[in-house]
Amino acid sequence: MEKRRQPHKRIVFVCTNQRAPGERVCCADRGGAELRDRLKAMVKERGLRGRIRVSQSGCLDRCEDGPNIMVFPDNVWYAGVRPDDLDAILDDAIASLRAEGALPRGYDDVPRSTGTEAPA
């Protein structure tokens, strides 16, 4: 085993847990996978791959509040996330990176898509 430093500055865990019909509610049925996919695309569009990792998680045991997203190492939890919340979640992560000087060189000088503009 090799012990290494965490390769990403932030990891955003999006619950995508799926339960059998008739069981407790789950984030998958509330759009968890779609949120994960969109957030991954937004990170790529903003040039932050390698800084922010979007990963799916299993059950976070707050199903009734979901879909749920947690950000490490910021120790931030988002509940009841909707697609229109993703810009704010990513902006918070970027602000955290900015505060520690961990954004790519020249990042703030480059106009970025927010992922909400209508296609041309």
**C-alpha to C-alpha distance for 43 and 34, rounded to whole angstroms:** 14
Q: What is the pTM of this model?
A: 0.86
Give the three-class secondary structure for 2.
coil
Confidence of residue 107 (pLDDT cuts 50, 70, 90): confident
Residue type at 23 in one-letter notation: E
Q: Which is it for the CA torsion 72, 75, 76, 77, positive or negative?
A: positive
Q: Architecture of domain 10-98 in CATH?
A: 3-Layer(aba) Sandwich (3.40)
Q: Does residue 112 have a pLDDT over 60?
A: no
Q: Does residue 114 have a pLDDT over 90?
A: no
Residue range 16-45, pLDDT digits in tens: 999 999 999 999 999 999 999 999 999 999
